[in-house]
Amino acid sequence: MTIFVLCLVAVTVATVAVVLVARRKRSLASGVVSVKGGNSTQKRNRMIFYVVMFALPVLNFLVFYVYINFQSFALAFQRFDFGQGYVFFGFGNFKQIFSDLKTELWMQSAITNSLGLFFWTLIFGAFLSVLFSYYIFKKHFGSEVFKVILYLPHIISSVVFVIMYKYFLDVAIPSIFKTLWDKEVEGLIANTESTHLWVLVFSIWVSFGTQVLMYTGAMSSISVSVIESASLDGVKPLQELIFIVIPSIWATFVTFMVVCTVGIFTDQMALFSFFGVNAEHKLYTIGYYLYAQAYNGGNVDYPYLSAVGLLLTAIAIPLTLTCRYLLNKFGPKTY
C-alpha cells in the first residue's frame, strides 16, 4: 500500500510538471494569474507554489476518491476466504443480490420504503419548501422567526430530535389520550402498525432547513425591478410565484431534485438514530441497510455490500442524469 501511494505521488507530480512545461497560455479572464507573464524566476516560483500547494489535495483525491472507488468496484467481484483473504468470485455477489430480491423481506422493504420516502419527500418536502421560501423571501409576518425555526433541525443534532420525538410520541401522547379521553393507546413509535408512518413524518418534518435557505438565497438574486413591475401590472402572489419566482430559481430547484433522486439510495430515514442496528426489516431503507451492515458487519460482508453499492451506482448515474436532463429541458425558461 505504501508503494502504491508513493507511486501515485510520483505520477501526480510528474503529470503536473509535464502539463505545466508543455502548455502555457495567457488567460483573457480578469483576475487570473497568467502563467506566461513575469521573468523566469517568477514563473518558476509560481510553478513551485502551485505544485507544492496542490500536492496534498490531489493526493487526497486520488487515494480517497479514485482508489477507493476502484477498490469498491474490485471488491464487488470478490469474496472473503478466511484462509486466503479476498479472492475472485466473479458475479457470485450479484447472483446473490438478485436471489435475495425475490426471497428476502428486508431487501423488498428497503426498495419500497426508499421509493416511498422519495415520493413523499418530493410531494411535501419540495413543494412546501418552495412555498415556505417564497413566504420568507417576501418578508411576510414572522418570516425571520420561521426561517430560524425551519433551520433548527440542522443546528441541533438529529439524535437529540429523535430522542425527544420518540419519547413524546411513546410517552406523552398516550398520557394525553389517557388524561383527556380516558383511552389507553400504545405509543406511536412503539406500535408496529404506525412506526413506519411516524418515522416517515419525522424525516419530512426535519428536512426543510437547507432547501429553504438555498431557495431564499436564489430568490434574493431576482431583480427587484422585475418584481416591482409585475406588481404594478397587477400580478397576484400565486402568479408571481409560478411565472416569475420558480423559473428564476429553477437551476437551484433542479440541483435539489437531483440530490433528492440520489437520496433514494442513501437516505436512512433516521432509522439508525431511532433503532440502531435493530430496526425491523419491514422498515429498512437502502441507505439504512448499507450503513447498518457496514457498521455491524465484517470482512465477510464487505464484498456483498460493495456489489450492492455498484449495482445502485449503475442505476443512480443514468437516473440522476436523466432527471437533470428532463428537468432542464422541460422546465420553465427565463428570458
Partner 1 sequence: MGVINYVVLVILTIYALTMVLLLLWGLFTSLKTRSDFYTNKVLWPKGTPNEWGWSNFSVVWQNFVVTATNTAGQKVKIDFWGQVLNSVIYSGGGAFVAVAGLCVSAYLVSKYDYVFSKIVYVVVIVAMVVPVIGTIPSTLLLFKNIGLYDTYTGNFLAKFSFLGGMYFLVFHASFENISKEFYEAAIIDGASEFQVFFKIMVPLVAPTFYTIFLIKFIELWNDYQTALLYLPTHPTLAYGVYHMSITNINGLSSEPVRLASCVIMAIPIMALFIAFKKKIMGNITMGGVKE
* Contacts to partner 1 from residues 133-172, by CB under 8 A: 134-135, 138, 140-142, 145-152, 154-165, 167-168, 171-172
What grid cell was written down for 201? 413524518
325 binds partner 1 (CB under 8 A): no
Measured from the CB of residue 274, what is the shortest distance to partner 1 in angstroms?
9
CA distances from 168 to 52, 189, 222, 241 (A): 55, 10, 42, 37
Q: CA-to-CA distance for 188 and 166, rounded, in angstroms?
A: 8
284 binds partner 1 (CB under 8 A): no
Q: Which is nearer to partner 1, 157 or 229 (CB)?
A: 157
Which of 94, 106, 120, 205 binds partner 1 (CB under 8 A)? It is 205
Q: Which is nearer to partner 1, 226 or 323 (CB)?
A: 323
Measured from the CB of residue 105, what is the shortest distance to partner 1 in angstroms?
21
Which of 69, 112, 229, 334 binds partner 1 (CB under 8 A)? It is 69
Burial (CB count within 10 angstroms: exposed 0-12, middle 13-18, buried 19+), residue 84: exposed
CA distances from 157 to 24, 154, 163, 273, 292 (A): 49, 7, 10, 10, 19
Which of 3, 23, 184, 329 binds partner 1 (CB under 8 A)? It is 23
Q: Strand pairing of 85-88 and 78-81?
A: antiparallel
321 binds partner 1 (CB under 8 A): yes
Residue type, 253: F
Q: CA-to-CA distance for 201 and 173, rounded, in angstroms?
A: 16
Phi, psi of 78 (to 5 degrees): -125, 170
Measured from the CB of residue 335, what is the shortest distance to partner 1 in angstroms?
24
Q: Which is nearer to partner 1, 29 or 224 (CB)?
A: 29
Q: Which is nearer to partner 1, 204 or 226 (CB)?
A: 204
42 binds partner 1 (CB under 8 A): yes
Q: Which is nearer to partner 1, 187 or 196 (CB)?
A: 187
2 binds partner 1 (CB under 8 A): yes
Which of 10, 115, 119, 175 binds partner 1 (CB under 8 A)? It is 175
Which of 8, 9, 13, 50 binds partner 1 (CB under 8 A)? It is 50
- The contacts found for 177-184 with CB under 8 angstroms, 24 or more apart, are none
Q: Which span (45-53, 87-95, 104-112, 185-193) binds partner 1, by CB under 8 A?
A: 45-53
Q: Which is nearer to partner 1, 120 or 161 (CB)?
A: 161
Residues 207-266 touching partner 1, rule: CB under 8 A, are 208, 213, 217, 220, 236-238, 241, 258, 262, 265-266
Buried/exposed 40-72: b ≥16 CB within 10 Å, e otherwise = eeebeebeeeeeeeeeeebeeebeeeeeeeeeb
197 binds partner 1 (CB under 8 A): no
Q: CA-to-CA distance for 327 and 137, rounded, in angstroms?
A: 24
From its phi and psi, is residue 30 left (phi > 0), alpha (psi between -120 and 50) or beta? beta
